[in-house]
């Protein structure tokens, strides 16, 4: 049975308060709704039917959560879990369409524009996903900052709340991570030991 908005809101609040078990129960519920909503946009035939990921997440938020009951910190946590799941939904979609990692050349993703969900998935999302995994291996927090800001379109302040660091740290992390990822995706990186 689909849990009520109130139940989901309680799980969200418990997770924001540090209860990791609540996140484990919350994530599958959010994933199902996000997946369903994203696919509705992806399977439309006209490429004109696009939607910014932030609008999509907002749609899911309003459907699942009792917005009256949550404060901005809980809302940031909800968008945080959505960002992670959104990365999975979009990357899996790009892979299922047969897109492979791009080999070298300039990356198409500039990491400075709003991400869009559309029937034409961007092949470079696969490259970004792999570059983010590589970044996570040396600096997990920076990888999370990009995930939250790019896939969830969280603000620096919301990202800071989810990661429990200062907004200044988020901004610094974002700037360096962006350059690192663009270089990684361009294939120009000199892999040292």
Partner 1 sequence: MDPERWRKIEEIYHAALECEPGERAAFLLEACAGDDELLHEAESLLTFKERTGGFHGCPGYGSGC
Residues that bind partner 1 (CB under 8 A): 110, 112-115, 138-139, 149, 153, 155-156, 170-172, 174-176, 178-180, 182-183, 186, 188-190, 192-193
Which is nearer to partner 1, 92 or 139 (by Cβ)?
Answer: 139
Q: How far is the CB of 151 from partner 1 (least distance, A)?
A: 12
Which 3-state string (H, E, C) describes the chain?
A: CCCCHHHHHHHHHHHHCCCHHHHHHHHHHHHHHHHHHHHHHHCCCCCCCCEEHHHHHHHHHHHHCCHHHCCHHHHHHHHHHHHHHHHHHHHHHHHHCCCCCCCCCCCCCCCCCCCEECCCCCCHHHHHHHHHHHHHHHCHHHHHHHHHHHHCCCCHHHHHHHHCCCHHHHHHHHHHHHHHHHHHHHCCCCCCC
Minimum separation from the CB atom of position 158 to partner 1 (A): 10
| Pick 121 or 152: Cβ nearer partner 1 | 152
What gap in Å lies between CA 115 and CA 150, rounded to an integer? Answer: 7
Q: Which is nearer to partner 1, 77 or 178 (CB)?
A: 178
Tell the smallest beta-carbon distance from residue 110 to partner 1 (Å): 7
CB of 101 to partner 1, least distance (A): 19
The smaller minimum CB distance to partner 1, of residues 77 and 142, is found at 142
Are the beta carbons of 47 and 121 closer than 8 angstroms?
A: no
CB of 156 to partner 1, least distance (A): 4
The least CB distance from residue 17 to partner 1, in Å, is 26
Q: Which is nearer to partner 1, 69 or 139 (CB)?
A: 139
Query: Alpha-carbon torsion 66, 71, 76, 80, what sign?
Result: negative
Smaller CB separation from partner 1, 10 or 169 = 169
């Amino acid at each position: 049975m689909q849990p009520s908005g109130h139940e989901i809101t309680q799980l969200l609040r418990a997770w924001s308060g540090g209860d990791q078990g609540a996140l484990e129960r919350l994530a599958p519920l959010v994933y199902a709704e996000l997946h369903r909503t994203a696919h509705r946009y992806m399977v439309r035939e006209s490429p004109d039917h696009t939607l910014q990921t932030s609008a999509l997440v907002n749609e899911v938020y309003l459907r699942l959560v009792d917005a009256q009951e949550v404060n901005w910190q809980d809302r940031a946590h909800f968008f945080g879990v959505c960002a992670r799941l959104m990365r999975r939904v979009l990357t899996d979609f790009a892979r299922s369409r047969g897109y492979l990692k791009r080999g070298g050349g300039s990356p198409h993703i500039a990491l400075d524009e709003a991400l869009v969900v559309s029937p034409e998935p961007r092949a470079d999302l696969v490259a970004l996903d792999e570059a983010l995994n590589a970044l996570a291996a040396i600096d997990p927090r920076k990888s999370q900052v990009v995930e939250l800001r790019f896939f969830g379109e969280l603000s620096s302040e919301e990202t800071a709340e989810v990661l429990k660091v200062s907004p200044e740290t988020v901004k610094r992390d974002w700037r360096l991570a962006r350059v690192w990822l663009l270089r990684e995706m361009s294939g120009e990186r000199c892999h040292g030991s």
